[in-house]
Amino acid sequence: MSHVHGPGCRHGHHHGHAHGAHGQGPAHHDRAFAVGIVLNVLFVAVEAWFGWRADSLALLADAGHNLSDVAGLALAWGAAFAARLRPTHVRTYGWQRASILAALANAILLLVAMGALALEAVQRLGAPHPGDAVTVMAVAALGVLINGLSAALLMKGSQDDLNIRGAFLHMAADALVSLGVVGAGALYLAFGWAWLDPLVSLAIAALIVAGTWGLLRQSLHLAFDGVPEGVDLVEVHAWLRSQPGVRSVHDLHVWALGTSDVALTAHLVMPAGHPGDAFLIALADGLVHRFRIGHPTIQIEIDGLPDGCVRPARLE
């Protein structure tokens, strides 16, 4: 077990650092990203062409949105790659934070694109005109297949990684939106409602903004070192306090290194003396299995005297 010293803390205490078995970072999803990007680039070209031919705002707007999705997929892929780069002497945590910033950038990109879409749709709603509903339905049906496949490729990784979840949500939302466009085209053919096209565009914007808001909130929270979703700091504190020989816990911090790796630092006051490496190994194992915290750093203190570190709000 290696021994390290936190910045600004007194050197007369013992520190232990260990990585849990599950703190190995995101799985590689290179193939899923590559396939998703290629399929969506081709679909953007098809959708823009037929949207122009059919004079359909819904298709043209969705082509623009899908182009932003291509950029989002590329951004997420680049961040996932950067997060796998090894730490260096000047970047001791590597580039893991890139995945958080990519998720945040994706959320902002989507919100801006949907704002532009909504503005154009409102203007067109005041003067609707008919389009080629059959073409719109055919292209939208192709979108259901392409976006659905792209989402399926990213589904597994989206469960544990906010960056991949952002890309997955884009694809899944697009598949549902395309399905809605097919339905709107069918209603237009049945009833001749020309105003359905801009109305569907507004529905697209509202649906994507609603789905993106959570991504924006979570990524912004993690960018400012907030406690990751699913980790209860009070519960972590209580669990550490309950360990044998621990009298008190202070300077407890939990934050995200990236979108799939959680770090913890804490000072444990243990008057009986340093418990040994076996205690630290068991502690790291418990943290990763109970709280999915895979990067813990623990400082053992014998007397619990002030050590110069900044104290957070007390939890005990």
pTM of the model: 0.70
What is the side-by-side strand order in the sheet with 248-256? 14-17, 295-301, 262-269, 248-256
Kind and range of the H or E run holding 216:
helix 196-223
Nearest to 27 by CA among 148, 147, 164: 164
Residues 74 and 48: their CA atoms lie apart, in Å, by 20
Q: What pLDDT, in 10s, does the model give residues 236-292?
A: 999 999 999 999 999 999 999 887 789 999 999 999 888 988 999 999 999 999 999
| Cα–Cα dist 237/222, whole Å | 20
Q: Which two tokens stand for residue 26?
A: 């995101």
Q: Which two tokens stand for residue 205?
A: 């914007």
How would residue 233 be classed by pLDDT, with cut points 50, 70 and 90? very high
Mean pLDDT of the chain: 78
3-state secondary structure 144-169: HHHHHHHHHHHHHHHCCCHHHHHHHH
**Stronger pLDDT, 137 or 161, i.e. the higher one:** 137
Hey, how many other C-beta atoms are within 10 angstroms of the C-beta on 282? 14
What pLDDT does 185 receive?
Answer: 76
The distance between the two most distant Cα atoms of the chain, rounded to a whole number of Å, is 82
pLDDT at 18 (0 to 100):
46
Model confidence pLDDT, tens digit, residues 103-156: 888 888 878 877 877 887 787 777 666 566 787 788 888 888 988 888 888 887
Would you state the structure tokens that stand for residue 75, as one six-digit string?
Answer: 């951004």
Gap between the Cα atoms of 136 and 302, Å rounded: 72
Residues 6 or more apart from 173 whose CB is under 8 A from it? Answer: 207, 208, 211
Instruction: Find the mean pLDDT for residues 208-224.
Output: 86
Residue 5, classed as helix, strand or coil, is coil
CA dist 42 and 109 (Å) reads 21
* Domains and their CATH numbers in the chain: 14-23+228-301 (3.30.70.1350), 30-223 (1.20.1510.10)
3-state secondary structure of 99: helix
Q: What is the pLDDT of residue 166?
A: 77
More confident residue, 18 or 188: 188
